[in-house]
Chains A and B, each alone.
Chain A
């Protein structure tokens, strides 16, 4: 055995397993899942509701761990991800694989037994979609990678709704559409200001492959259907005026910020402020819109 391999004998710290689950991404997933559940017309028992959200969180964590298991080589090439447990050499890949597969199976089985089969089935699809379709298949092959990957992140409201009702309806499908269409402007805004990083790792992000001008246009284009999906529940009579007004105002702000990004050109020594602003605002936007949905439901009830 060479000295270079010695660190692998040391078991990884439990905090590194926690880091493998991408806890920060999980907050958004848990929040949208919870809102999907609370927006459902049927109340769910708190214990079962808690279990459903726990399963969504564990499933998302499992998908994150499997993503990092598969992408350790990419992560090592990017400054943003170099300190993750695998590229930093704090954990061996097999531990990450076993942890991810075990957690995924556990979350789905618990969901199936404790909540219902519909929620367990959608959870399974979302994990497989994120790991197989996004991570393994498309991320390294097409600049539309995050558009398709966005679907994986859009499942939680659908799972939350299914946990409460055992079924799927138009409103959670629209919420799915909102998160799905929100992902491209959100992620490409990030890709615009960390472009060099993705280029180093050889990931075909849109700014790297098609150039900045195309990326800016695509941000603007995807914002249009996103805005429609965000506002649609109100005119369709699925929500009340509270959601309608909040969604309309916050979506307009989103559209203005996106328009600014879509129509501008990068100057020499550009600090990319509008892009950073759109990225930060996009996260706030989802929290506010989903929060408004729940408040709207409670007031209407």
Chain B
């Protein structure tokens, strides 16, 4: 494995981690919104 390959792997890992973090953050907000909605509708 060349230094270039290692560089590429780091970049891929970094961007994938960033996207995953954003998606998880969005999911947490969505679950919070669903919970609020369900409580207001008296479904829980």
Contacts and interface: CB of A to CB of B under 8 A. Distances in A.
Interface of B is mostly: helix
A14 B16 contact: yes
How many A residues are at the interface, by size bracket? 10 to 19
Contacts of B41: 45
Nearest to B40: A45
Contact of A11 (B1, B16, B34, B36): B16
Contact of B9 (A10, A45, A48, A114): A10
Interface residues of B, number: 15
Contact of A51 (B13, B15, B16, B30): B30
A236 interface: no
B33 A11 contact: no
A6 interface: yes
A48 B39 CA distance: 12
A10 B12 contact: yes
Interface string B4-42: 010011001101100100000000001001101100010
Contacts of A301: none
Give the interface SS of chain A, mostly helix, strand, loop or mixed. Answer: helix
Contacts of B15: 13-14
Contacts of A170: none
A47 B12 contact: no
Given A11-B13, A47-B33, A51-B30, 17 more contacts: A6-B1, A9-B1, A10-B8, A10-B9, A10-B12, A11-B12, A12-B12, A13-B15, A13-B16, A14-B12, A14-B15, A14-B16, A14-B19, A45-B37, A45-B41, A47-B34, A47-B36
Interface of B: 1, 5, 8-9, 12-13, 15-16, 19, 30, 33-34, 36-37, 41
The 5 closest A-B pairs by CB, nearest first: A47-B37, A14-B19, A11-B12, A114-B34, A47-B33
